[in-house]
Chain A
Amino acid sequence: MFDEMYDGAKSRKEYKIIEDWVAREGIEALLTKRDEAESLFRRIGITFAVYGEGGDPDRLIPFDMIPRVFGPAEWDKIERGSIQRADALNAFLRDIYSDREIIRAGKVPEAMILNNEAYEPVVQGYTPPLGIYSHVVGVDLVRVSEDELYVLEDNCRTPSGVSYVLQNREVMSRMFPELFQSNMIRPVDGYGDMLAEAMQAAAPPMCEGEPTLALLTPGHFNSAYFEHSFLADQMGIELVEGGDLFVKDNRVYMRTTQGPERVDVLYRRIDDAFLDPKAFRPDSMLGVPGIIDAMKAGGVTIVNAPGAGVADDKAIYTYVPDMIRFYLGEEPILPNVPTWRCAEDEDYKYVMAHLPELVVKEVHGSGGYGMLIGPAATKEEIQTYAKRIEADPDGFIAQPTLALSTAPVLTEHGLAPRHVDLRPFVISGKTTRLIPSGLTRVAMREGSLVVNSSQGGGVKDTWVLNAEVN
């Protein structure tokens, strides 16, 4: 099993700063400061967002103080690989909603698209400004060795968690300013500007002059409201709810005290189904009636575009390497995890014969629920799960159990290894880029492979160094 900090007893060179720091502070002192960090985090969290209103403790995600570190060469690969992936996914969306060349070329079966719940027929024929459907793509990565990284899944709809990236850094730099005085750690401050620039670049055809941006939230009862208000703050744009907006003559307006004010580009953080009761769920109270027509008429750009989810489910995932070759003429920089599609006979047979060593997932599942982790499951659990696969082979994919890398977390008994993953956030505007960091999620329980926050996962500050350490 690959540990990102320790190579045997000695630390890898990227982690020299961390090793020195832990030795200098001592575990005891760090544990005391952990409480301090917790309350600082809680305070900022509460200040921004009001998590932790009693009775709902899982809302404040545990924060581990030991940063995760990437050297420049490691990051370079992640950066290029994530950008390549986001570019291919956007090319795929552009193609699917227009000529579907990839289907005609026989690379992706048409049924994969048309039977996909996330495919939105109303978007067919609509090409957004710059041809970008998914302006923010979260690429979930896992590492298994010094130089082997795999893409676990893509998030093309409304990936969340970037506010933790920025806040974790804020808390760390307040608690341990001396760590950052080495001038080795690349800053993450640019995220808001980067996203705002991409939104400006996506101004719709009917927009004259500087586009007005806004962020659409389901409201302050939503569990991610804190991130919504935080991001609106970072970008200096209005945080609006569906009721604040209306459509007239294919333009979108906010209701303000001085009359209607036009909105040109809308970063929506509500699901497709709720976006427009005229186009999708008629009972939605959260959306804006007529906004889809306005979008198609060129009166507003919706970020990310409705229907972008067709590129990120677990069945489509297996085709992404082909997309990269087909649209970009390149080999994937970051490979997929080898995946068996139970929909295909050969794969189905293999999966059913090897369940105890595989991880099986629902094609449309998310959040780490409904999966089978073969090596950790009992015989009965495997048998029950096998029946589910048998009943609906199309609904499942399987992957080998990966030896996920670990990174050290602070515990009462000193540093201890825990499994981690990484979600960089790729922003597509005039160019495709990302801030030098990402969301590191960490399984806080010993041996656990599940890093999802809904199941007790925590987060870490994630560093990218600006020069190699010798």
Chain B
Amino acid sequence: MLSRTANGLFWMSRYVERMENVARLLDAGRRMENLPQPPGAKATEWRSIVIASGCKTTFPAPLDQASRDNVPQHLVFDADNPSSLRQCARSARENARAMRTALTSEVWDAVNQTWAEMRRRGPDDTLGGRDLSEFIDWVKSRGALIRGHIDATLLRDEGHAFIEMGKWIERADATARILDVKYHVLLPSSSDVGGGLDYLQWLQVLRAANSATAYRHLYRRTIDPEGVVDLLVRNARSPRSLAAGARGVCNALESIGAHTNAQRAAHARAKALCTKLRADAVEQVIADGLHEWLTDFIYEINDLADQIGVAYGFDGQEVRLSEAAQ
């Protein structure tokens, strides 16, 4: 397959997944905002959403002024923000359009229609109280529709594997960021750790990752940081966990195959990431600092994505067959 095609499918898939994940982050912000605050405490949940969505540099106001009034606007509509829902839908569609011959008409229609409907929307009919939650549901359902058509109509060839890989990388990145939201939301005082508000915030994190019910089903105990981290980091049974993401990337790479030393090196690194996720003990991760661990992970998964891109010629350079490969 042409490297450019593989690159386009990979990024189409990442933008579709990112669109859904940014919607989930917005949902987390919306939920946390409604939690009761002690009198005089400063609300920080919207600030944390900006940081977690990776939009710190594009956010147009000082971070401590992040609020319900400006964050949803930035995450849904701003053209300067490449991760805004609007830009995600647009980029997914531009990539799909350029790779049209590698897609079925079902997948193309779903991606194209998502952009067509997205571009018709404006702040007035989207960002208001009830409108926002309905809009978030709509975005999530569009993501599901596109994934469903990919699953039901695309040939299981290299193109499909690059789409899968894009999805898993983006989702692992997003889950790590959602977990990190909790770090950035400040508790009113350190004595509140383990308290009622702490619990409620962890619950919202689970909800944003669509995993609250799964938590109860799997752990059968009240929500605590160890359980949440275990579920979203290590537990490969959760489709949103980092472990599931890393495994998905490895599976996709395996079906694509490695033809060069650079590709083999990228495969090895992906496998090492899978192993690390199995090996790191949750207690240790929390004791050493969850935020630092997540920061390392986000760096690692994105650097791995870059390395894979170079190995398969996404940068416009030819994939060089090493002597060993010929």
A residues whose Cβ falls under 8 Å from a Cβ of B: 46-50, 219-220, 229, 232-233, 238-241, 243-244, 246, 253-260
A50 touches B100 (CB 8 A): yes
Contacts of B256 in A (CB 8 A): 257
A244 touches B2 (CB 8 A): yes
Please name 14 pairs of A and B residues whose Cβ atoms are closer than 8 Å in the assembled complex, sorted by A.
Answer: A229-B101, A233-B101, A241-B4, A244-B2, A244-B3, A255-B316, A255-B319, A256-B313, A257-B2, A257-B158, A257-B313, A258-B257, A258-B319, A260-B321
A258 to B311, CA, bound (A): 10
A240 touches B2 (CB 8 A): yes
Contact residues of B between 84 and 113, Cβ < 8 Å to A: 97-98, 100-101, 105, 108-109, 112
A47 touches B318 (CB 8 A): no
Size of interface on B: residues with Cβ below 8 Å to A: 28
Task: For residue A253, give the distance in angstroms from its CB to the closest CB of chain B.
Answer: 7
B112 touches A255 (CB 8 A): no
Task: For residue A157, give the distance in angstroms from its CB to the closest CB of chain B.
Answer: 24
A241 to B3, CA, bound (A): 11
B250 within 8 A of A: no
A49 touches B316 (CB 8 A): no
A223 to B97, CA, bound (A): 13
Contacts of B257 in A (CB 8 A): 258
B317 touches A255 (CB 8 A): yes
Task: For residue B50, give the distance in angstroms from its CB to the closest CB of chain A.
Answer: 32
Contacts of B237 in A (CB 8 A): none
Contacts of B162 in A (CB 8 A): 257
Contacts of A49 in B (CB 8 A): 100
B318 touches A260 (CB 8 A): yes
A243 to B317, CA, bound (A): 9
Interface centre among A220, A229, A258, A260 (most CB of B within 10 A): A258
A250 to B52, CA, bound (A): 51
Partner of A238, one of B2, B105, B260, B320: B2
B324 within 8 A of A: no
A257 touching B101 in the complex, CB below 8 Å, given contacts A47-B108, A47-B109, A246-B318: no
Contacts of A253 in B (CB 8 A): 318
Further contacts, 16 of them, CB under 8 A, given A47-B108, A219-B98, A244-B3? A47-B105, A239-B101, A243-B4, A254-B2, A255-B4, A255-B316, A255-B317, A256-B3, A256-B313, A257-B3, A257-B158, A257-B162, A257-B312, A259-B259, A259-B320, A259-B325
A254 to B4, CA, bound (A): 10
A253 to B321, CA, bound (A): 13
Contacts of A229 in B (CB 8 A): 100-101
B97 touches A257 (CB 8 A): no
Task: For residue A125, give the distance in angstroms from its CB to the closest CB of chain B.
Answer: 31
Contacts of A220 in B (CB 8 A): 97-98, 100
Q: Smallest CB-CB separation from A258: which chain B residue?
A: B259
A246 to B320, CA, bound (A): 13
Could you give, for residues 40-74 of chain B, a 1 whenever the CB lies within 8 Å of some chain A CB and a 0 otherwise?
00000000000000000000000000000000000
B6 within 8 A of A: yes
Q: Smallest CB-CB separation from B96: which chain A residue?
A: A50
Contacts of B316 in A (CB 8 A): 243, 255
Task: For residue B175, give the distance in angstroms from its CB to the closest CB of chain A.
Answer: 27
Task: For residue A38, give the distance in angstroms from its CB to the closest CB of chain B.
Answer: 18
B279 within 8 A of A: no
Contacts of A244 in B (CB 8 A): 2-4
Contacts of A259 in B (CB 8 A): 259-260, 318-321, 325
Contacts of B152 in A (CB 8 A): none
Contacts of A46 in B (CB 8 A): 112
Contacts of B158 in A (CB 8 A): 257
B100 touches A260 (CB 8 A): no
B1 within 8 A of A: yes
A257 touches B98 (CB 8 A): no
Q: Smallest CB-CB separation from A232: which chain B residue?
A: B101
A257 touching B6 in the complex, CB below 8 Å, given contacts A49-B100, A229-B100, A229-B101: yes
A336 to B302, CA, bound (A): 64
Contacts of B98 in A (CB 8 A): 219-220
A255 to B321, CA, bound (A): 11
B101 touches A255 (CB 8 A): no
Contacts of A260 in B (CB 8 A): 318-319, 321
Task: For residue A133, give the distance in angstroms from its CB to the closest CB of chain B.
Answer: 28
A238 to B4, CA, bound (A): 11
Task: For residue B111, give the distance in angstroms from its CB to the closest CB of chain A.
Answer: 11
Q: Smallest CB-CB separation from A47: which chain B residue?
A: B105
A255 touching B2 in the complex, CB below 8 Å, given contacts A49-B100, A229-B101, A232-B101: yes
Task: For residue A217, give the distance in angstroms from its CB to the closest CB of chain B.
Answer: 10
A257 touching B319 in the complex, CB below 8 Å, given contacts A46-B112, A244-B4: yes
- Across the A-B interface, the 9 shortest Cβ-Cβ residue pairs: A259-B321, A220-B98, A257-B312, A255-B318, A255-B3, A259-B319, A258-B259, A47-B105, A257-B6
A259 to B313, CA, bound (A): 8
Q: Smallest CB-CB separation from B311: which chain A residue?
A: A257
B97 touches A50 (CB 8 A): yes
Q: Smallest CB-CB separation from A243: which chain B residue?
A: B316
Task: For residue B21, give the distance in angstroms from its CB to the closest CB of chain A.
Answer: 26
Could you give, for residues 204-219 of chain B, a 1 whenever the CB lies within 8 Å of some chain A CB and a 0 otherwise?
0000000000000000
Interface centre among B98, B162, B321 (most CB of A within 10 A): B98
A50 to B109, CA, bound (A): 10
Contacts of A257 in B (CB 8 A): 1-3, 6, 158, 162, 256, 312-313, 319
A46 to B113, CA, bound (A): 11
Contacts of A256 in B (CB 8 A): 1-3, 313, 319
Task: For residue B326, give the distance in angstroms from its CB to the closest CB of chain A.
Answer: 9
Interface centre among B3, B259, B260 (most CB of A within 10 A): B3
Q: Smallest CB-CB separation from B102: which chain A residue?
A: A239
Q: Smallest CB-CB separation from B1: which chain A residue?
A: A257
A246 to B101, CA, bound (A): 22
A49 to B98, CA, bound (A): 9
